[in-house]
Amino acid sequence: RSVPFYRERLDDGALTEETWARVAILKRREVQDAGAKLHSTAIPKSHGKIGVAYTSGSTSSPLMIVKTALSRHFWQVFALRDELWHGRDFSAKTAVIKRDRSAKSGATEGRRLDSWGPPVSLCYPTGPAALLDVRADPYEQLAWLAREEPAYLLSQAGNLKALARAALEAGVRLPSLRQARGLGEVLEDETRALVRQAWGVEITDCYSAEEIGYMALQCPKHAHLHVQSESVLLEVLDDAGHTVPPGGVGRVVVTPLHNFAMPLIRYEIGDWAEVGEACPCGRGLPVLTRILGRTRNAVVLPSGSRRHALISTDPLHKITAIVQYQLVQKSLEEIEFRLVARRPLTQEEETTLTQLVAERFGHPFAVRFVYVEEIKRAASGKFESFISEIAQ
Distances 290 to 78, 207, 248, 250, 359 between C-alpha atoms, Å: 19, 10, 11, 11, 22
Question: What whole-number distance in Å separates Cα of residue 191 and Cα of residue 377?
Answer: 18
Q: Is 317's pLDDT higher than 90? A: no
The type of residue at 141 is Q
Mean pLDDT for the chain? Answer: 89
Q: Kindly report, residue by residue over 332-345, the tens digit of the pLDDT.
A: 999 999 998 889 99
Q: Place 188 in a pLDDT band, splitting at 50, 70 and 90.
A: confident
For the CA atoms of 342, 344, 345, 350, the dihedral, rounded to the nearest 10 degrees, stands at 130
Quick one: average pLDDT of 197-215?
95
pLDDT for 60 beyond 60: no
Distances (CA, A) of 41 to 2, 51, 191, 274: 5, 15, 46, 37
Residue 58 has pLDDT above 50, yes or no: no
The stretch 125-141 carries a mean pLDDT of 91
Instruction: Measure the CA–CA gap between 189 and 174, rounded to whole angstroms.
Output: 21
Report percent pLDDT > 90 for the chain.
64
Q: Which of 128-142, 215-229, 314-328 has the lowest mean pLDDT?
A: 314-328
Average pLDDT of the segment spanning 279-297: 85
CA 242 to the chain's CA centroid: 24
Checking if the pLDDT of 120 tops 60, the result is yes
Q: Is the dihedral of CA 298, 300, 306, 312 positive or negative?
A: negative
List, edge to edge, every strand of the sheet that includes 152-156.
Answer: 111-113, 129-133, 94-98, 152-156, 179-183, 202-204
Q: How far from each other are the two terminal CA atoms of the chain, in whole angstroms?
A: 32
Compute the distance between CA of residue 192 and CA of residue 157 in angstroms, rounded to an integer: 9
CB proximity list for 175: less than 8 A, separation 6 or greater = none
- Band of the pLDDT at 59, cuts 50, 70, 90? very low
Given a cut of 80, is residue 111 above it in pLDDT?
Answer: yes
How many C-beta atoms surround the C-beta of residue 161 within 10 A?
A: 26
Q: What is the pLDDT of residue 73?
A: 96
Partner residues linked to 183 by β-bridges: 156
Tell me the C-alpha distance between 73 and 54, whole Å. Answer: 17
Query: What whole-number percentage of the chain has pLDDT above 70?
Result: 90
The residues facing 237 across adjacent strands are: 243, 251
pLDDT of residue 292: 82
Q: Which of 41-45, 61-65, 169-173, 306-310 has the lowest mean pLDDT?
A: 306-310
CB 50 within 8 A of CB 43: yes
Taking only the tens place, the pLDDT of each residue in 210-236 is 899 999 999 999 999 999 999 999 999
Which among 53, 63, 66 has a CA at the least distance from the CA of 33? 63
Does residue 86 register a pLDDT over 60? yes
Mean pLDDT of 252-266: 97
Cα–Cα distance, 226 to 229 (Å, whole number): 9
